[in-house]
Amino acid sequence: MRNITPSVQKTVKLAAELRPSILRLSRHLRREALRGGSSSVDMQLLGTLREEPGLGVSELAEMEQMSRPAMSAHIKRLMQLGYVQRETSKGDVDRRRVGLSVTRTGTQYLRVVSERRADWLAERLSELGAEERTALDRATKSLRLILESAGEPV
């Protein structure tokens, strides 16, 4: 049997207590995207393309750790909704290369869902006392550090 220090035991206990709450909170925030008719994956892809316009389907699939056919299906759907468009790169030597970008409609949709999520969360935060909100503010900084150490964009 392994010798575990009290500090490690506390960390493991904190992780076990924190994980279900983070998962449930994430589930609630994803539901706000679903209310608008899109999945959380759609929102994630739109956000990535807004930040990095010009990515191709293969690049996006690799970034999101998704198969190319699955990514193609998502992009096709987003294009049918008018949220994403294909465009040839003006500065690219290979004119066959087609990149993806978010349309004005897609940008507006992202904004609406983002505001809906923020409103939902702000409403719940307003129910907390000042001390709890301060504790969450400190925790937010720690959660960002965890994401950064895992190589996740923040």
What CATH number should be reported for the domain holding residue 142?
A: 1.10.10.10
> From CA 42, how far away is CA 30, in angstroms rounded?
11
Kindly state the percentage of the chain with pLDDT values over 90: 55
Provide the residue range defining the domain that includes 131: 6-149
Asked, for residue 25, whether it belongs to a domain, the answer is: yes
Q: Comparing C-alpha atoms, which of 58, 110, 112, 111 is closest to residue 84?
A: 110
Look at residue 79 and tell me whether its pLDDT is greater than 90.
yes
**Tokens at 63, concatenated:** 């970034």
Look at residue 32 and tell me whether its pLDDT is greater than 80.
no
Q: What average pLDDT score do residues 142-153 get?
A: 86
Q: Where are the beta strands (DSSP E) in 46-131?
A: 84-88, 98-102
Q: Quick one: pLDDT at residue 94?
A: 58
Asked, for residue 1, whether it belongs to a domain, the answer is: no
Asked, for residue 30, whether it belongs to a domain, the answer is: yes
Q: Comparing C-alpha atoms, which of 81, 61, 80 is closest to residue 69?
A: 61
Asked, for residue 154, whether it belongs to a domain, the answer is: no
Q: What average pLDDT score do residues 31-41 get?
A: 77
Look at residue 97 and tell me whether its pLDDT is greater than 80.
no
Q: Quick one: pLDDT at residue 7?
A: 86
What's the mean pLDDT when you consider all of the chain? 87
Q: Are 55 and 63 in contact (CB under 8 A)?
A: yes
Number of structural domains the chain divides into: 1
Q: Quick one: pLDDT at residue 88?
A: 74
Q: Quick one: pLDDT at residue 83?
A: 96
> From CA 94, how far away is CA 96, in angstroms rounded?
5
Comparing 38 with 30, the larger pLDDT belongs to: 30
Q: Quick one: pLDDT at residue 1?
A: 46
Asked, for residue 96, whether it belongs to a domain, the answer is: yes
